[in-house]
Structure 1
């Protein structure tokens, strides 16, 4: 969380003194790491602490610790860039300094922030934005470390870091099977099948028809043609639908403490599905349905909420339960059988069938 506070001249000068001495310690720590070919914080600190403590007697000692941590991070980042051939200098240069603070160098409360300087402390009173209160009031806690840097005009840019305690292990009490189809997503919630329409077919064909009308007899490099094609926004519409559906499914699973069951689709799913399809329009629809993208959107959103996702092999799921390995019994009267509910995909992306295994 970045906060900008304008302070008085006296406070700014005290922080400026800290910045100048912090820069000197940082440069010495970087040089020590380069000479001794190390990026280890403990080795850098043990090598420079005694010397720097004698040089900067009035500077709080923990600034030397944090400067060594800063040097370790910079050297580690420089070594990674150097291995990839993206370093343009022989050693990392210190151009801008952001001062690291540990729990001994700053104290926080909602009225003011206290920062240790040479032989005293200074106080700043920031105005917290709405996003600060959103995190502060929803279970996040302020970490013991922080950072600040000085800007022109007596402005201090302060960085508050939020952390959340490790969540309790998620123990699913139920399962929500999800079937991804071309024009809909089928889910089972509280033993009731729900069909969520996506209108992907309409979006795909509408875009294709308009694209043909726009490009007939004209080059796609034409500026006016490119402008019209950009305004169709097929990709944006589909991405928006996938994100909304993923959030809807994952939130339902999170609130009911359920795990999500998805088909473990192969990499080239569209190519495999259209292999034996001769209808050009159907091939286009299946290829642009983006089944894997929908699956990935659900998995990514599930990670945010720590909801477990179970991937099952879709092969032979119309006859054998992928969880229990037992044969599926179809009720001739359409009644309910006992066991786990799951769903299979139609061959061409059609709506799957809700089934129950014999277990």
Structure 2
């Protein structure tokens, strides 16, 4: 397992200039490696290094030679990614574009110390003195080991972003004693905990539309190449805000499964799931919301956190989970009742009322192999407990939320 921690450091002009010099020469080596790979039809690190090492060593004589190695590794990854996208028909250019550069370091180019991180440059070793934050100490003291590789990126104002990589062996998954089904939706995540459905709001719809309106106001009548426009767009933190919610939610769910020794049951969503979901959808706003909902990112966040704790994850067929009655297997009839998207429907066989998210949770449980009798009554709508986003990110566990609600 691999985790990357980002540290932001402000350095003096001499250190910044030395790193800027390295970045410029690294970019030149990277451009040459990409050009050689495209021209020669090779994309492996070994072939790229063999093809350009001699010429680059002469051109960049004062630069530590291992920067040529790491630049070739960087070029190899970029070429493989570009060729894969081109095979899938998702490449929009005829060659990979080199927009931003993050300088890769191996164990010969950097040294870690709690007082300072040292980086090799043409002018010798320079030191960075970062303020280590809580996440860094959590990994350093939590059984994770420092990897040999690292990266740095230069920002304006003499700031340097330094990326430290931690590694840890993946624990062996335990034998589960039960199941915790999790249903992913656009604006919420539903969980069945101790036979009680919980709906955790994520406010993804509100975040998506809010940031879209802000982008529209910034770009209105102006070019996106405008420096002021680009600066304002960079300040929009939509991606960071959604990623933060995903990480916190994933940890809540995984810790509940870990403490109860249960397996997590998720829908096995197809690759590029939003493209399948928007087929036939003409509403532009709805299409935008679906694309920005990041169902697969939420699924992957839960799987990645589960790997860290050895929690088993079961991926089941997602078809008809919210439209099938868990008791009779009949198609639930969702009739509009003052709403274009009703959440409660009725089973035509037994007359049970089902909330879409609750039906999905019990169907996921059935598909995972849980054959216990249905614990709910047959006439109620079975609405889930709705947990607002102002509550669950600060909660220690889902059980603590349920206890407070019962009190």
The TM tier, using the shorter chain, reads 0.5 to 0.7
1:196 aligns with 2:199: no
The alpha-carbon distance between structure 1 residues 83 and 349, as it changes in their structure 2 partners (threshold 3 A), is farther
Residue-by-residue CA offset, 1:167-202 (whole Å, 9 max, x unaligned) = 2x2343x6236699xx99574xxxxxxx536599xx
Q: Which has the larger radius of gyration?
A: 1
Q: How far 1:58 moved relative to its partner?
A: 1.6
Residue-by-residue CA offset, 1:121-177 (whole Å, 9 max, x unaligned) = 11110112222223333223332111112222222121122222222x2343x6236
Q: How far 1:348 moved relative to its partner?
A: 5.5
Contact 2:45 2:72 in 1 (8 A): yes
Contact 1:179 1:345 in 2 (8 A): no
The alpha-carbon distance between structure 1 residues 196 and 32, as it changes in their structure 2 partners (threshold 3 A), is same
The alpha-carbon distance between structure 1 residues 9 and 288, as it changes in their structure 2 partners (threshold 3 A), is same
Q: Distance in 2 between matches of 1:247 and 1:45?
A: 45
What corresponds to 1:213 in structure 2?
A: none
Q: Which runs of 5+ in 1 are unaligned?
A: 188-194, 201-239, 299-308, 318-341, 352-359
The alpha-carbon distance between structure 1 residues 294 and 59, as it changes in their structure 2 partners (threshold 3 A), is farther
Residue-by-residue CA offset, 1:243-286 (whole Å, 9 max, x unaligned) = 989946x5455235455799978722444427487896751842
1:108 to 108, 112, 122: 112
Secondary structure at 2:68 match in 1: helix
What corresponds to 1:38 in structure 2?
A: 42
1:134 aligns with 2:138: yes
The alpha-carbon distance between structure 1 residues 148 and 259, as it changes in their structure 2 partners (threshold 3 A), is closer
Tell me how many residue pairs correspond in the alignment: 261
Residue-by-residue CA offset, 1:195-248 (whole Å, 9 max, x unaligned) = 536599xxxxxxxxxxxxxxxxxxxxxxxxxxxxxxxxxxxxxxx9xx989946
Secondary structure at 1:5 match in 2: strand
* Runs of 4+ with deviation above 6 angstroms: 243-246, 260-266, 276-281
* 1:1-359 map, 5 Å: 1-118=5-122, 120-167=124-171, 169-172=172-175, 175-176=177-178, 185=192, 187=194, 195-196=195-196, 198=198, 247=252, 251-255=255-259, 257=261, 267-273=319-325, 275=330, 283=346, 285-286=353-354, 288-292=356-360, 311-312=368-369, 317=371, 342-344=372-374
Deviates more, 1:284-293 or 1:63-72: 284-293
Q: Distance in 1 between matches of 2:12 and 2:250?
A: 51
Residue-by-residue CA offset, 1:4-50 (whole Å, 9 max, x unaligned) = 21211111121122112111111111111001112111111111112
Q: Which runs of 5+ in 2 are unaligned?
A: 183-189, 201-244, 266-313, 336-343, 348-352, 383-407
Q: Distance in 2 between matches of 1:18 and 1:263?
A: 46
Contact 1:260 1:310 in 2 (8 A): no
Q: Distance in 2 between matches of 1:246 and 1:166?
A: 17
Q: Distance in 2 between matches of 1:144 and 1:72?
A: 19
Q: Distance in 2 between matches of 1:129 and 1:45?
A: 37
Q: Distance in 1 between matches of 2:89 and 2:64?
A: 38
Q: Distance in 2 between matches of 1:45 and 1:184?
A: 50
Q: Distance in 1 between matches of 2:376 and 2:97?
A: 59
